[in-house]
Amino acid sequence: MKNLKNFDEDCFEIYKEAVRNKDAGGKKETLSLIKPTIRLLYLDYSDKFRDNEIYNLTSHGFADEEKDYLIDLYQYKSAIIKKVKKKILDSQIITINATCQYCTLNSINTLDHFIPKGDFPEFSVNPLNLLPCCSECNAKKSKYAYNGEESLFLNLYLDELPEKKYLKADFDFSNGVPIVTFDLYNPDDIEESLYRTISNHYKRLDLLERMRLKSNEVITEIINPIKGYYRFNHDVEEIKKFLREEEIEFQEAYGFNYWKSVLRLSLIEDTEFWEKYII
């Protein structure tokens, strides 16, 4: 999981363009009439975004037709949203720009409205409120973002991910294949509210279980090459050193607590793994 770079152009221009692209008629007229209000609301969003205080936003309270038209302005397949998505993805580093960073498990195939468009229809096409993700995460995230000031999900534009451990993997070697259990912990004192946000995020997106289900593949992939190294060199400590160095590069590319790295690093540090599967 890595932080994402946010859209850095004038967001209100996106609203204007989305309205411009609408067919002439009553909808377009209504959406044009409320432009001055939307402009102020976008400025407010940008201010609160800058201060990482999005939870302080209050809904303008658009109702009825205006609300419906605003929500309808967001169409995932529309030219303007495609343009926004492309712009956001193009500014990310290449190792992560096709993968959902909410989970790091699936490909990106949608955009999440960080604060829900049902409650905040005014921000349905605000690029600062749109995070690329997978449909599984988007469905699990549903319409919640905050409980008071408490963040229920990581906002990857704003919540700086710590370069400290928070994900661990433990193994049960009593079967033919190592069985992994992921858990969160905080051995290096990540600041309390950030750690709570991380915990909420992992819990609500069911990440520990979703990672576990994908782990067998990773474990199988690592055993054969290690057996290969061992055949040439019986110095286990030297192989471990080499594997650790390799993971540092993966962490750089995919995030400090990238689940596959955590899995592989924990596995190679386990003496039982070496005794049962390699030596």
Residue 80 in the binding site for Zn ion (CB under 5 A): no
Token pair belonging to 113 = 């409205």
Closest CA to 5 of 94, 120, 73, 79: 94
Cα–Cα dist 139/236, whole Å: 44
- Select 60 or 141, whichever has its Cβ closest to Zn ion: 141
For Zn ion, the binding residue among 14, 41, 134, 239 (CB under 5 A) is 134
Residue 103 in the binding site for Zn ion (CB under 5 A): yes
Total site size for Zn ion, rule CB under 5 A: 6
Cα–Cα dist 263/251, whole Å: 12
Determine the interface stretch with Zn ion among 85-93, 97-105, 120-128, 191-199 (rule: CB under 5 A): 97-105
- Smallest gap from residue 204 Cβ to Zn ion (A): 12
Determine the interface stretch with Zn ion among 62-70, 98-106, 227-235, 268-276 (rule: CB under 5 A): 98-106
CA distances from 12 to 2, 29, 65, 105, 246 (A): 27, 17, 21, 33, 44
Residue with tokens 């712009």: 87
DSSP codes joined into one string, 162-181: PSS--EEEEEE-SSSSPEEE
Closest CA to 156 of 61, 62, 49, 265: 49
Residue 226 in the binding site for Zn ion (CB under 5 A): no
The three-state secondary structure class of 125 is coil
- Residue 221 has a CB neighbour count (10 Å cut-off) of 11
- Select 57 or 129, whichever has its Cβ closest to Zn ion: 129
Query: At residue 223, what are phi and psi to the nearest 5 degrees?
Result: -65, -50
Cα–Cα dist 161/150, whole Å: 16
- Smallest gap from residue 134 Cβ to Zn ion (A): 3
Helix (H) or strand (E) holding 130: strand 130-133
Residue 131 in the binding site for Zn ion (CB under 5 A): no
- Smallest gap from residue 223 Cβ to Zn ion (A): 27
- Smallest gap from residue 150 Cβ to Zn ion (A): 21
Residue 137 in the binding site for Zn ion (CB under 5 A): yes
Determine the interface stretch with Zn ion among 11-19, 68-76, 115-123, 133-141 (rule: CB under 5 A): 133-141
- Smallest gap from residue 160 Cβ to Zn ion (A): 20
- Smallest gap from residue 205 Cβ to Zn ion (A): 7
In angstroms and rounded to an integer, the radius of gyration of the C-alpha atoms of the chain is 22
- Smallest gap from residue 197 Cβ to Zn ion (A): 17
Determine the interface stretch with Zn ion among 23-31, 96-104, 143-151, 228-236 (rule: CB under 5 A): 96-104
Residue 102 in the binding site for Zn ion (CB under 5 A): yes
For Zn ion, the binding residue among 1, 88, 100, 161 (CB under 5 A) is 100
Cα–Cα dist 135/133, whole Å: 7
Determine the interface stretch with Zn ion among 38-46, 100-108, 157-165, 207-215 (rule: CB under 5 A): 100-108
Residues that bind Zn ion (CB under 5 A): 100, 102-103, 106, 134, 137
